[in-house]
Each structure stands twice: as structure tokens, then as C-alpha cells.
Chain A
Amino acid sequence: MKKKFLKVAVATMLIASMFTFAACGGSDNGDGGNGDAETIKIGAFGPLSGEVAAYGTAMTDSAKLAVEEINAAGGIDGKQIELFVYDTKADKAEAVNIYNRLRDQDEVVAIIGGTISGETLAVKELAIADNMPMLTPTATSADVTIGAPSIFRACFLDPYQGSAAAAFSVETLGAETVAVLYNSDDAYSEGIAEAYKAAVEAEGLEVVYYDAYTSEVRDFNTYLTQIQSAAPDIIFLPDYYNRIGLIATQMKDLGMEQIAVGVDGWDSVEIDYAEQVEGFFFVNHFAKDDPDPIVQNFIAAFQDAFDREPNALGALGYDAAYILAEAIKNAGSTDAQAIIDALADIEYTGVTGPIRFDDEGDAANKNIAIIKIVDGKHVLEEKISAK
């Protein structure tokens, strides 16, 4: 009897682990090709599947687009760029595996990534230890670049967008009371909620409701009922688009009429939930209806290549690829320290505005756009330009 039980237990574990590994091993090596020595190898990673798949695909597709453009224009001093793209599924452990693979197997000279803060923080210590030049287009968590000389960031930071959203709530929307509902499992959501709360309270506003849910929650009725009875002027929801879709749907089901204000994680919410988020506002990296030719050229090129509209993460991925290429060109070599030094000195104007890095490696004084969702489209409501 005992033997039989052991056999069954071992077999079960083997089968279970087989499936787990099978599910993890599906990374595809997008532009891999044959690695000849005359190419400059760059890695990129992000969630290409899973809850926030729209981010990773937008970021890496745009990076691919930029690399194709650079290669078509002659590459970097005649050398073509070879881009290695992997899917993290928004999983921290997977991000570490991918980082190791990019470094050891693909032998990349620099990395564009990660896409979301969690996966970027997961590889942060490794990138510091290896002195790997890494430029994250889209990880907004403040921690990403702190004490990390080889890591740079092309987007604005969470406290910055939290206070921009707060200023907009107070000045443009004229709110006097606000409710804040955030995700306590996510450093991104929590960090912005804190920054927003501090900023609106400094303006003398009353935060009438402040609570958090966890990632597994699908039923937001309870929170929304509490918020409804607190009757705030606006509701601030710092989270990613899939969950915002859920919350907005349940707001409408409960008949709530408040306007919600959000953050860059909302980008793409209009794909599945246009009706529910109609008239809501969010802070973003660029506006699709910005008449600036650099913006419109990027949108046209992206639409041409992928037959869909780009989002803000795409714009940042595109900028990041150009910045990295320019840094490698300026460095005149693929030596890690030379690339890092060149990145620190870069001056570049991209789709998301002028970008240069401060001492911490963060993009200083970024443009910030406030988007209103009208008829399922992004409309630029306000633009705060870099000084």
C-alpha cells in the first residue's frame, strides 16, 4: 500500500512540475536569427502575455519598430542591431531567468527593460552587479534607479504622476472631496496612492475614503458602496487597465456618477471598456492626438507595421530604443561603462518629449499629458510641458 502511494505521489508531482515548466518555457526569441559577430546585440523584455500583456507587446513592438528604422538607416556606424525579445508574463522569477539568458546566452551589450516596475526591480540588483547598461522605458516605481548607476529610465516617476493627477483634480476638476482606492499588492499602485493623498491633502482637500484591495479581488461592490455613501467629488484609482475595467463596470452597475481619475496604467482600458470609462481622466506619457509631427509620424509608422494604434508604453519603448542606439553610437564601442557614460550625457527629443537623465538616471522634467476618454478615444485635455 505504502509503495503504491509513493508511486502515485511521485507521478503526480512529476506531472504537475512538467506542466508548470511547460508553461514557463514558452519564451520566443522574436528577432533572434543567426548571431553573427558584426551585429550589436540588445535585449528587451516585458509581459507579452498575462494580465498586462498590452504593455509588454506595445513596448517591445515599438522597440522592434525603432530598431528596424535604425537598421534601415544604416544601423550604428554600419553595424546592424539585433534585438532579443522575451516574455516575462509579468512574473518576477521569469524576469530574472530572462535577464540571465540575455547576459549569458545571447550576450547582449545593453537591455531595454523591463516594462513594468515589478519585473524591473526583480533584475535591478543583477544589473548593478554586472554593470549592465539597462534603460527601462516604462517602469515608474521610484526604487528602480536608486543606487543603480547602470540603470536609466525614460519615463516619469510615480510620485511625479501622483502629484500631477492631484494638481489636475484640484485645479481643473475643482474637487473638494476625494476617495482613493488602490491595490495593496502592487508597489506601483500603493506608491501613487500615497503621493496623490499627500498632494491633495497639502492643497487642503479632504480624503473621505482611503482603502486598498488585493490582487485577487474581483468583487469591488463592497468598496464602491462605501465610497458611494462617502459621496466624494472624484475617485482616484491608481491601477492597471484590466482591473480599472472591472472597477468601472461595477461603478456603472451600482449607478455611480462620480468621475474617476487615473494614472498611466489606465492606458488601453478603452479597448474593452470604452463605455464604462467614458468621460474619465488619466495622466499619461503622451497624447495620441498631439499634433506634434514626431508624435504623428510615430503613430503612422506603428499603425503601418502592426495594424493597430500604439499606446504610451509603445511611445516610450520607441524612444528608449532610439536613445540606447544613440548612446551606443556616441560611446563608439560596446563596452558597458562607455555606454553608461554616454547615456548619462544624452540629449534626445522623442515622441514623449525632450529626454535627458539626471544624476539618479531618471528622465528629468518629463512632459506629462492629461487624457480624457471621449467616445472610446484619447483626447488631450491638458499638457504640462518640460521646463
Chain B
Amino acid sequence: MTWDWRWSWIPDHYDLLGELLLQHLYLAVVPVVLGLLIALPLGIVCVRVRRLYAPVLALTSVFYALPSLALFVVLIDYTGFTGWTVIIPLTIYTLSVLVRNVVDGLRSVPEHVSQAATAMGFGGVRRLLQVDLPIAVPVVIAGLRVATVSNISLVSVGSLIGISGLGQLFVDGIQRSFITPIIVGIVLTVALAVLADAVLVGLQWLLTPWTRAGRSTEPVTADPAGAATAGVA
């Protein structure tokens, strides 16, 4: 086998790398946003209508087990070789992770907090928006972090059927037995995942000022780390 490493390949391809990085980010982030937009109302309904949660959870865990490559292939007939072929399956995965976290998050609101809100005159929608959802933020963001990081890694699979992103570097490297683009691709993908993760951690910090007030003696939130420990490709 013949494989070689060339440092000069990197500066020669700055433009390409930047372009692929942006495409990759787009294909990974759009599903996160769409998934959140669907998971929030769905999760809220599941908390209200308890009977609905078990079937929804069963369905999402089936969705989560579907191989990404197979979903891309089936979609080609409908969406062609466009971004949607990748965006739709990744939205389904994001949704599958998030519904559970939205429900867990909303259920983590302590009874005394709900009662205090009601006593202060907070009605249904206002309590949801100003009390329940903010308290659910850490658990929801824990789900968003899992979904975002795995989306960033899964976008590469799309390159195998010709949908661009950093995965194109892997395809290129495999075809030419050239290791530089493969390593650069892995490093950029992981860097993108770490960066996106850090942005979400920052977002959580901004959205939950009470957690760093230092006066509260009782934790209001559930353990976000325990909410999602394992994921499937």
C-alpha cells in the first residue's frame, strides 16, 4: 500500500476547506433547529397527555435505530442529491433524542416550584413559558449537545452518496490512498463538534442565570449528564 502525508496540501486547499466546513456546519445545524422546533411542542403535549408518551417514545427509539446511510438512500428518490437528503434523517435523529429530554426536563420541575408559581397567579401558558421551560433548559441543552455532536459526525456519511461536507475529504483520501485529507477531515470534524458543544454550554450559561447566583442552596434542575449517556450512529 502507498500512502503519504503532505503538509503543503493544507495551505493549498484553504478555500476548499473553508467551503466544506461551512456546508458541513449547515447540514448539521439545520436539523438541530428543526428537531428542536418539533420536539418542544411534542414534548409539551406528551407531558400533558400522559398516555401519548409511551408510544411516542417507542417510535423515536425505532427511528433512532435506523441506519443513516439507508435513510439517505431511500430519500434520494424524493429529494435528489440535495442537502435535504441529509437534513431530513438527521432531523429525525435529533427529534428522537430531544423529545425524551424535553419531557424529562419539564418533569424535573419540583412540585413546590409549580405550586409557588400557581400561588403567584401564573396560569397555564405563562407558567409553561416563564417557569417550566426555563427550568427544563439544562436537560434540553444536554440533549441538544448529544444531537449536535452526533449530527456533525453523521453528515460525513452523506458524502459517500455524493452530498458534500467535510466527508468529501474522506472520499477523496480513500480514492487516492492519500492520508492528509483524511486526517485533516477528522481533525476539522472533531474541532467543529467541540466548538458547537462549547457554544451550547455557553448558551446554557446565558439562559440559566439562577444556577450561578450562588445563593440557592437547593438544586432546581435534574442531572443533565444522566439524561443521555449513550447514542447510536
Instruction: Indicate whether A and B interact.
Output: no
Taking Cβ atoms with an 8 Å cutoff, the residues of A that contact B are none
Which B residues have a C-beta under 8 Å from some C-beta of A?
none
